[in-house]
Structures are given as C-alpha cells and as structure tokens.
Amino acid sequence: MTITSRNRPFSRAQIRELLEGKDDDWLFSRAALATELEFGNEVYLRAIVEFSNYCANQCHYCGLRAANRALGRYRLSTDSILGAVHRAAANDIGSVVLQSGDDSYFRADTIGWLIREIKARHDIAITLSLGERPADELGLWRYAGADRYLLKMETFDRTLFERCRPGADFDGRLKQLEWLAAMGYQVGSGIIVGLPGMTLDTLAADIEALCDLNLDMIACGPFIPHPQTPFAAAKSGDVLSCQRVTALLRLLNPGANIPATSALEVLKPGARLKSLRRGCNVVMPSFTPEDVNANYNIYPGKNGSNGDARARLHALRAALAAEGLVAASCRGDAKTRRYRR
Ligand code: SAM
Ligand code: SF4
C-alpha cells in the first residue's frame, strides 16, 4: 500500500475545530447523509468469534495483556470455533470476524484449515484479527480464502504508540498493513480514542494518517480503563469525541466500513445506535460461546450483556428496526475501491 497525501476536503485546522465540537450539528448531519448515500438504511453485521484470550504482548491498555494473571485464559477448539461460525450463518449473518490475542499457539496451518472449512460450509466473508503475524502466514490465509484483516495501529503517534505498547514495533505494524493490501485483503485499521496522553492534535493527525492508508475498514472505539493494567487509573475516552472522529472519517472515506463499537455502548447505553446515525455502518455482535465470552475481558463490561448470542441478535435487530435501519445479511464488503486512484 502506498501512503499518499490526497486532497482532502478539510485542513488539519478544520479537522481540529470539528473535533472540538465547533459544529456538531453540521458534522453529524453530513456524516449521516454520506452514510445513507453509500449504504442506504442497511447496517452490516459481523459476528465476532473471540477464539483465544491468550496474548504474548503487554499493551498497557488491554485486559488480555500477558501480565494479567487475574484473567481466566481460554482457547476454543476448532470444533467450537466452527460451531460459533455455524450459529452466525444460521442466523443470517454474512460475515464473521475471527479475533484473538497475539497467540502463536494457533499455528498458520490450523488457521488456514479453519478458513477452508468455513468457506466450504458457508457462503460467508471472513475477517481475521489475530495481531501481527509473518507475511508468509498472512499470504497462506489469504490463499485459503480469508477476505479481510483488521489490525489497528491504535495511534499513529510513534511516541504514544511506544508508551502504550511496550516492546512493539511501530514500523513493523505499519508494514503489515502494507503487506495485507498487497495480498488483496480488504484492510482495516483504527485507533483507540482517548488513550492516556492523546490530545486533539494527536487525534487530528491520526485521522489524516488513517485516510492516507486508503482503508476498507476503520475501527475507532473509546478507551476504557481496565483495573488489571498500568492504565487502570486513567480516564475513559469520551463518547462524543469518538463520534466526532467516526463522523469525520465517514466524510473523508465515504465507502469505508466504519463500526459502531461495543465500547461506546459500555460507556453510554444507546451510544452505539446513535453512532449509526452519525457515520457508522457496522455492528459486531459477539458469537463467542457463552461459557467463555466474559473472559474476553479487554475492558470492563466487554461481552457483559445477558442472554445467548441469538437472543442478543434478536434484540439488536429489533433496536435497529425501531430506528428505521435494516440489519443486512450480505457479506458487507467495503465500497472503497472505486475511490482509489
Ligand atoms: N491482539 C490483536 C491486536 O491487538 O491487534 C487483536 C485483539 S485486541 C483485543 C482488539 C482491539 O481491542 C485492539 O485493537 C484495541 O483497539 C482494543 N482494545 C484493547 N484494550 C482496549 C481498551 N482498554 N479500551 C478500548 N479498546 C481496547
Ligand atoms: Fe494482546 Fe491485542 Fe490486547 Fe495488545 S491489544 S494485549 S496485542 S490482545
């Protein structure tokens, strides 16, 4: 992927002003219009199957970090993963996300086999979100049939990145995004809004960096402090700031898939739905089996709602319908490529 500096409708100063809330009515109504022009009243669903909460990394913000000994760890069997995907497909969902901590226990051939099995059994799009992996593994999975890969930079500010992700390689993570695009994946990245030390200037620069990557998916959720992490005492990200970020991203990336994250809902019930009226077009209900889903505890409240996946999906569809939105059962591919130069 070449990083380009495209002509943008907003200068850095204008982005900053909109992030400050100078004209929320204008920003949110334009983002709603742009979303409607691209996606009509359809909301794309992604069933997320969180198949392992083991992680080798130590991200200061995340409850799955290796040093968190208080967390009960789990890995799903391949049968259990296939069962969760089956339940998603049986419930008319056209797209799954397989996500985990950075867990090398799942070897490249196991993931490749899973992708092939899923594709043989279901007409469903597959997004992988497994963290950083070598190029040959990413290539193998693409060859096996994976459609998309989500790898958030979390911030494009190198100093902040290194402060939040000790031992992580900023350039290496950016390089992985380039490989993914070259391999033909639909590529997703994003940031955490309100990471400790993040300012409005950081956010404005991050928005520009995300646009320069010409992404197919852009995932930006608010930071939520986890008690078993070095950022336990930090302040949460702000829901409204996060909605301004996603609204700006919609205006700057009209055809990209932009999820309304569950972290929004944890901070403010109803915020996820509202974000779908402010530029977002994707929701990612968890299909992780109930006996372990509370242990995918990235932040407090994640996967905390009651009921099985089917009941939660039913409630989500009803809530969308009440807003005049339709939960689409299609693959939900991005509409970005025609914007590419
Ligand atoms: N391990 C893979 C990775 O880091 O790319 C994928 C799994 S990771 C749990 C998925 C996402 O969770 C991260 O990209 C990060 O944005 C988000 N996350 C982790 N901790 C968070 C927190 N405390 N608040 C909000 N989002 C968080
Ligand atoms: Fe691991 Fe991903 Fe959490 Fe970092 S964000 S600790 S890589 S699961």
* Residues contacting ligand 2 via CB (< 6 Å): 55, 57, 59, 62, 64-65, 101-102, 131
Protein residue whose Cα sits closest to atom 5 of ligand 1: 131
How does 228-264 read in b/e, with b if 16+ C-beta sit within 10 Å? bbbbeebeebebebbbbbbbbbbbbbbbbbbbbbbbb
Which pTM value belongs to this model? 0.96
Comparing CA positions, the residue from 6, 13, 2 lying closest to residue 211 is 6
Q: Chunked in runs of 10, what are the mean pLDDT values of the chain (341 residues)? A: 56 97 98 97 98 98 98 98 98 98 98 98 98 98 98 98 97 98 97 98 98 97 98 98 98 97 96 98 96 95 80 94 96 78 39
Other C-beta atoms within 10 Å of 89: how many? 20
Distance CA 35, CA 37 (A): 5
CA separation for the pair 211, 205 (Å, rounded): 10
How confident is the model at residue 4, as a pLDDT? 41
pLDDT of residue 305: 67
pLDDT at 341: 39
ipTM value of the model?
0.99
Q: Residue 145: what pLDDT?
A: 98
Q: Which ligand 1 atom is at minimum distance from the Cα of 219?
A: 16
**Can you give the residue ranges of every domain in the chain?**
12-331
Fold for the domain defined by 12-331: TIM Barrel (3.20.20)
